Amino acid sequence: MANIVGQGWAFPPNLDNQGGIALTNKFSELTQAIRIILMTSPGQRVMRPSFGCRLHELVFEPNNSHTAALAEAYVEEALGMWEPRINVLSVEVEPNAQRLNCMLINILYEVKATHDKRSLVYPFYLIPGE
């Protein structure tokens, strides 16, 4: 199972207790991979310009249902394209009750190798118009 789910460098890169590169394994690596996809804008990676998620296009949009629907579509599209180890079961976007400029993106997914269902809440911050 570890070979299918994987192991990789910790993000952000850092050192472990022995002074080597810190690694993540199993499901922690999956969570980090999902976050990297969501935080990367297409065009940011020179050798893979289509990698990433279009969420950054919504930074200056109002916090409303239209923006939430676009965020859901962008997240589903990016994870479906770039993370083959999971099946995205649902993506729901809701406003953050404590921060008006924040949307909480709730991602429910299944790890293909184990059929284990997991969830991730990704906060996405908007810059309010002036």
Q: Are 11 and 32 in contact (CB under 8 A)?
A: yes
The third-level CATH classification (topology) of the domain covering 2-125 is: Nuclear Transport Factor 2; Chain: A, (3.10.450)
84 preceded by cis ω (within 30°)? no
Q: Are 71 and 124 in contact (CB under 8 A)?
A: yes
Angle, alpha carbons 77-81-84 (nearest 5°): 125
- The tokens for 32 are 């980090």
Instruction: Quote the pLDDT of residue 2.
Output: 43
pLDDT under 50 in the chain at which residues? 1-3
Counting residues of the chain whose pLDDT is more than 90, the rounded percentage is 66
Q: What residue spans define the domains of the chain?
A: 2-125
Beta strands in the chain (DSSP E): 7-9, 23-25, 86-95, 102-111, 116-125
Instruction: Quote the pLDDT of residue 12.
Output: 67
> Whole-structure pTM over 0.85, yes or no?
no
Instruction: Quote the pLDDT of residue 104.
Output: 96
